[in-house]
Amino acid sequence: MLLSKACIYGMRAALYLASSSNDRFIAISQISEDLDISRHFLTKILQQLTKADIMESMKGPKGGVRLKGSGDEITLVEIVAAIDGMDILTECALGLPGCGTAKPCPLHDQWADTRDEIRKMLEDTTLTDLSRKGKEGNLRITEDGSFDWLPKNN
Amino acid sequence: MLLSKACIYGMRAALYLASSSNDRFIAISQISEDLDISRHFLTKILQQLTKADIMESMKGPKGGVRLKGSGDEITLVEIVAAIDGMDILTECALGLPGCGTAKPCPLHDQWADTRDEIRKMLEDTTLTDLSRKGKEGNLRITEDGSFDWLPKNN
DNA sequence: TATTTTAAGGACAAAATACTCTTAAATAAA
DNA sequence: TTTATTTAAGAGTATTTTGTCCTTAAAATA
Could you tell me if A112 lies within 8 Å of chain B, comparing CB atoms? no
B126 → chain A, closest CA residue: A107
Q: Which residues of A touch B145 (CB under 8 A)?
A: 103
pLDDT at A53 over 90: yes
Q: Is residue A43 part of a domain?
A: yes
Q: Is residue B47 part of a domain?
A: yes
Task: State how far the Cα of A57 lies from the Cα of A142, in Å rounded to an integer.
Answer: 23
State residue A146's pLDDT score. Answer: 63
Give the CB-side neighbour count of residue A55, counting CA atoms within 13 A. 32
Residue ranges, chain B, pLDDT below 70 = 145-154
Burial of B89 from C-beta contacts in 10 A (0-12 / 13-18 / 19+): middle
Q: Is residue B109 part of a domain?
A: yes
| Domain tally, chain B | 1
pLDDT, tens digit, for every residue of A59-70?
999 999 999 999
Contact A80, B93 (CB under 8 A): no
Helix (H) or strand (E) holding B132: helix B127-137
Q: Is residue A38 part of a domain?
A: yes
Q: Is residue B112 part of a domain?
A: yes
A138: which residues sit within 8 A by CB, 6+ positions away? Answer: A147, A148
Q: Is residue B44 part of a domain?
A: yes
Q: Is residue B147 part of a domain?
A: no
Q: What is the CATH number of the domain that holds A24?
A: 1.10.10.10
Residue nearest to nucleotide D25 (CA to C1'): A59
A76: nearest Cα among B118, B93, B119: B93
Task: State how far the Cα of B115 lies from the Cα of A118, in Å rounded to an integer.
Answer: 8
Could you tell me if A3 lies within 8 Å of chain B, comparing CB atoms? yes
Give protein residues whose Cβ lies within 7 A of nucleic acid chain C.
A 1, 26-29, 40, 43-44, 46-47, 50, 57-65; B 1, 4-6, 9, 38, 40-41, 43-44, 58-63
A6-15 mean pLDDT? 98
B13: nearest Cα among B115, B82, B85: B82
State residue B143's pLDDT score. Answer: 84
Q: Which residues of B touch A15 (CB under 8 A)?
A: 106
pLDDT, tens digit, for every residue of A104-135?
999 999 999 999 999 999 999 999 999 999 99
Question: pTM of the entire structure?
Answer: 0.94
Question: What percentage of chain B's residues is helix, strand, coil (to nearest 5)?
Answer: 50, 5, 40
Domain that holds residue B26: 5-137
Task: State how far the Cα of A149 lies from the Cα of A134, in Å rounded to an integer.
Answer: 9
pLDDT, tens digit, for every residue of B112-132?
999 999 999 999 999 999 999
Gap from B59 CA to C30 C1', Å: 18
pLDDT at A154 over 50: no
Could you tell me if B86 lies within 8 Å of chain A, comparing CB atoms? no
B77: nearest Cα among B66, B92, B88: B88
pLDDT at A147 over 80: no
| Angle of CA points B28, B58, B52, to nearest 5° | 80
Q: Is residue A23 part of a domain?
A: yes
Helix (H) or strand (E) holding A5: helix A5-18
pLDDT, tens digit, for every residue of A77-103?
999 999 999 999 999 999 999 999 999
Q: In 3-state terms, what secondary structure has residue A112?
A: helix
Are B110 and A121 in contact (CB < 8 Å)?
yes
State residue A149's pLDDT score. Answer: 66
State residue B80's pLDDT score. Answer: 98
A23-29 mean pLDDT? 95
